[in-house]
Structure 1
Amino acid sequence: MSKILVTGGCGYIGSHTIVDLVDHGFEVISADNLSRGFGEMNDKVSKLLGKSIHNYAVDLSDAAATRTIFEANPDIEGIIHFAAYKSVPESVDAPLMYYKNNIGSLINILECAKEFGVKNVVFSSSCSVYGNADTLPVTETAPLKEAESPYAATKQMGEQICADFVKGNPGFKIVLLRYFNPVGAHESTLIGEMNQRPENLVPIVTQTAIGIRSGMTVFGDDYDTRDGSCVRDYIHVMDIAHAHTLALQKSIENALPSGCEVFNLGTGEGVTVLELIKAFESVSGLKLNYNIGPRRAGDVIKVYADNTKAKTLLGWQPGYDITTMMQTAWNWQQALAKETAQ
């Protein structure tokens, strides 16, 4: 049984990936200092799996502290590196904090990977590296545009660091996974997105529907799209999670074409903001209180993935449509509300 270190394991995507890894036979340890993750998420994952997942509450931007994890676990065979700050507006306000944390932690992880011989790494990247792409759907070979934010810049830099690391260290393999818009929750409703002040659309929708928010704003309805609202590629979090498991399996089997491969993770279908709202209203039976506001600075008009490479080389296949995504997100929000009320 291969032991995998998941950094950011108490966060949204990290927690779901731990579940998928364990379901597919891996042993998992987590590293999350809980600055953005949630200790209760680790408890929920352990309850869901029927076994405890040890979390090291370590700041990965501290090189010495990071090293202690590897010293205590010399049998780590793979690393999935999620741990990073991810708020675009916050990154604009505090760029140095983002560069120090996101780049520093990656360097510390790779230095430990080299020292302890952990040759299989998966790096959590983002479709934000593409910016406003010239051609849709976006392929992995599309040129990367100037980053729209310091957050996006850390993902571009992170990818370059990984590519350079592999070039200088033959035998090491890194898979770069570019997520589009992760949404939804585990079907058990035990885990999901816990952000109390989310910036992403779907938790804002579910919080509005349940009454945590009095209303919400759709930013712009005059774009050159089907209904005037922005287009995104929404992908279920468990589909994202399973792609990490497949990437690690292929890496460990040495079954990828090169030491550094990049994959888009999206459904390949663009959904407008208004279409997503309609899908939510359909599954919930509720009318959402929203208004149309002006365009928001920095918003990409439309982006969706060409996922052919992930399907072909990883054997990955998204399994959730937009209706099921909205249903699991709503089920999770309701379960969270019941838990809070108790």
Structure 2
Amino acid sequence: MSILVTGGAGYIGSHTVLSLLEQGYEVVVLDNHSNSSFESLRRVKILTGCDITYYEGDVSNRLLLQNIFSENDIKQVIHFAGLKSVSESVQSPLKYYDNNVMASIVLIQEMIAHNVCELIFSSSATVYGIPESVPLNEDSKIGGTTNPYGTSKLMVEQILRDTAKAYPQLDITILRYFNPAGAHPSGLIGEDPSGVPCNLVPYISQVAVGKLPKLLVYGNDYPTHDGTGVRDYIHVMDLAEGHIAALKHKMAESNCRTYNLGTGKGYSVLDLISAFERQSGKIIPYQFVERRIGDVAECWANPSLSQQALNWTASRSLDDMMRDSWNWQQKNPTGYE
């Protein structure tokens, strides 16, 4: 039996595929490479020595999904595939609703048609909108999202909850990620954004390696310990291991469960810069600019439910994230090219 991983060549997807293979799972990957590279899967095979069944295409391609489910003995699905740029989603909302919401509906329909019942969905802390208080737990208020990307994740979560009620044979786990960072310690796989990075850590890394002149820090007047925004950064390998823990957790009181995957610690932009400078020996030039619309002062997780229910805890530190990010960037100054 195999696990279908949609978006398995992407940043989080490739690290999770590696962890799955190391745990002895058979993996089938579907990816359209809109923001990923097949090279990541080639390197995963180098690291693990394991073969990956691979399909190139889109999750919205119903015929392709039917072929995948017919040609493979799929037991579980991990659904990463989707667009993830907050700023792009503001400019192209219909593109995001089509890719993230409509494609997910097609996937769920084909899973039901082929009697594939177990699904792990890649959601996001953006579903909490502007937090009423921190840390955030799974019962915190959701909604009031500040961009179409976050709204698309919120919509799919609701679709999954409604579908789970209608189809009791389904076993659905929703994982809300906070801020993934870092790379595999080998430096062979990591985050490879196309164009100017949307996420903070790859932006810092590209400044350090000379691809970008300086880091723009959006706002230094937030009510935080140094005036810059505070977020919960989690090592991508901890995140990958969270998916393994979720796979092993069997259906209990509900057939649709939600867990935060975070560290429970908040770090500011300046905290990240300092940690990166410690690990890289590089000075990161930066400039304060105006706040971005929709950004919040603080956002971090209460991960106690995932610790109790999944027996999972993020174990890697901020310094680990920065060290592994720099190792990846040094070894791959132009990414997977």
For Structure 1 versus Structure 2, the TM-score category normalised by the shorter chain is over 0.9
Structure 1: distance between partners of 2:265 and 2:234: 9
Q: How many angstroms does 1:338 deviate by?
A: 8.4
Unmatched tracts of structure 1, length 5 or more? none
Q: How many angstroms does 1:59 deviate by?
A: 1.2
Q: How many angstroms does 1:340 deviate by?
A: 7.6
- What is aligned with 1:174? 172
Q: Structure 1-normalised TM-score?
A: 0.96
Alignment check: 8 A CA contact 2:83 2:99 kept: yes
Structure 2: distance between partners of 1:340 and 1:268: 32
* SS of match in other structure, 2:123: strand
The structure 1 residue matched to 2:327, chosen from 315, 326, 331, is 331
Q: Structure 2-normalised TM-score?
A: 0.97
- What is aligned with 2:79? 81
- What is aligned with 1:28? 27
- What is aligned with 1:308? 304
Deviations 1:153-203 (A, max 9, x none): 110000001111110001211000000000000011111001132100000
Tell me whether 1:148 sits opposite 2:146 in the alignment. yes
Q: How many residues align?
A: 336
> What amino acid is the match of 1:266?
G
Structure 2: distance between partners of 1:338 and 1:234: 24
Structure 2: distance between partners of 1:249 and 1:28: 16
Q: How many angstroms does 1:112 deviate by?
A: 1.4
- What is aligned with 2:283? 287
> What amino acid is the match of 2:286?
Y
Deviations 1:213-234 (A, max 9, x none): 0111111111100000000000
**Residues 161 and 283 of structure 1: CA distance in aligned 2, closer, same or farther (over 3 Å):** same
Q: How many angstroms does 1:337 deviate by?
A: 2.4
Structure 1: distance between partners of 2:245 and 2:116: 17
- What is aligned with 1:246? 245
Alignment check: 8 A CA contact 2:39 2:336 kept: no
> What amino acid is the match of 1:13?
I
Structure 2: distance between partners of 1:338 and 1:146: 37
Q: How many angstroms does 1:53 deviate by?
A: 1.3
Alignment check: 8 A CA contact 1:121 1:175 kept: yes
Q: How many angstroms does 1:120 deviate by?
A: 0.8
Structure 2: distance between partners of 1:122 and 1:172: 11
Structure 2: distance between partners of 1:227 and 1:317: 28
Kindly, what percent of the aligned residue pairs are identical?
Answer: 43
Structure 2: distance between partners of 1:44 and 1:23: 14
The structure 1 residue matched to 2:89, chosen from 88, 91, 100, is 91
Q: How many angstroms does 1:257 deviate by?
A: 2.8
> What amino acid is the match of 1:311?
Q
> What amino acid is the match of 2:174?
L
Point out the more displaced range, 85-94 or 60-69: 60-69
The structure 2 residue matched to 1:158, chosen from 135, 156, 159, is 156
- What is aligned with 2:192? 194
> What amino acid is the match of 1:230?
G
- What is aligned with 1:49? 48
Point out the more displaced range, 50-59 or 11-20: 50-59
